[in-house]
Amino acid sequence: MEIISHAAEQYAKVHSSPTNELLQEIHDFTLQHHAEPHMLSGPVQGKMLSLISRMIKPKRILEIGTFTGYSTLCLVEGLPSDGILHTIELRETDAATAQRFFDRSPFKNKIKLHLGDAHQILQEIDEDWELVFVDAEKTGYIKYFDTLIEKVKPGTFLIFDNVFFHGEVLNEKIKGKSGNAIAAFNDHIKNSNKIDHVMLTVRDGISIMQKK
């Protein structure tokens, strides 16, 4: 289901600042060579992530779901000089693709890419996250939220992508395990008293929250 009209998406894209050359290359490469190009954040959401990161200036960023590295290279823009971004990717091929792009970025020394299951790796990294972007398997969202909300300090910002799950959550009868998982996640965070939260109608829906 198309949630935001294609015309509105295009208008927003044309009236936003252009992306840099490396991001454009990742975008084009992913569209041409990846079997699931729709997973990419894209220019409007990517620019939003860059600007949010630049507003917060977080010393430690966590990203769950690297894919081909597009959102990583948007989020990294807000790090101060001593900042580090950790990003976690399950699939070896995607991690290798992302690393090749990271190696060409001026931010390459600020990005630490972890290969493996984020649920496991999260137990192994001990950092004071100030900004978290969750964009991995939708069936894991409640677990990611429950784990992270206990770990992070009050004031930390967390962003969860695809909270409309291609519009599936708007249907009376939701199909598929990911759609159902996202609907359950949306109810879960709506009922949480641990966060202040807004759901935005950007692209496939994005939830931004701050731990109280």
Ligand X SMILES: C[S@@+](CC[C@H](N)C(=O)[O-])C[C@H]1O[C@@H](n2cnc3c(N)ncnc32)[C@H](O)[C@@H]1O
Judged by the rule CB under 6 A, the positions of this chain that interact with ligand X are 39-41, 64-65, 67, 70-71, 88-91, 94, 117-119, 135-137, 140
CB nearer ligand X, residue 64 or residue 148: 64
Smallest gap, in angstroms, from Cβ of residue 154 to ligand X?
26
**CA-to-CA dists, residue 26 to 37, 76, 105, angstroms:** 11, 15, 12
Smallest gap, in angstroms, from Cβ of residue 23 to ligand X?
10
Smallest gap, in angstroms, from Cβ of residue 104 to ligand X?
16
CB nearer ligand X, residue 19 or residue 41: 41
CB nearer ligand X, residue 32 or residue 81: 32
Smallest gap, in angstroms, from Cβ of residue 11 to ligand X?
21
**Could you give the CA distance from residue 127 to residue 71 in angstroms, rounded to a whole number?**
20
Farthest CA pair distance, the chain: 48
CB nearer ligand X, residue 130 or residue 137: 137
CB nearer ligand X, residue 66 or residue 186: 66
Smallest gap, in angstroms, from Cβ of residue 69 to ligand X?
7
Smallest gap, in angstroms, from Cβ of residue 118 to ligand X?
3
CB nearer ligand X, residue 65 or residue 179: 65
| Bridge partners, residue 199, by sequence | 207
Q: What is the 3-state secondary structure (H, E, C) of the chain?
A: CCCCCHHHHHHHHHCCCCCCHHHHHHHHHHHHHCCCHHHCCHHHHHHHHHHHHHHHCCCEEEEECCCCCHHHHHHHHHCCCCCEEEEEECCHHHHHHHHHHHCCCCCHHHEEEEECCHHHHHHHCCCCCCEEEECCCHHHHHHHHHHHHHHCCCCCEEEEECCCCCCHHHCCCCCCHHHHHHHHHHHHHHCCCCEEEEEECCCCCEEEEEEC
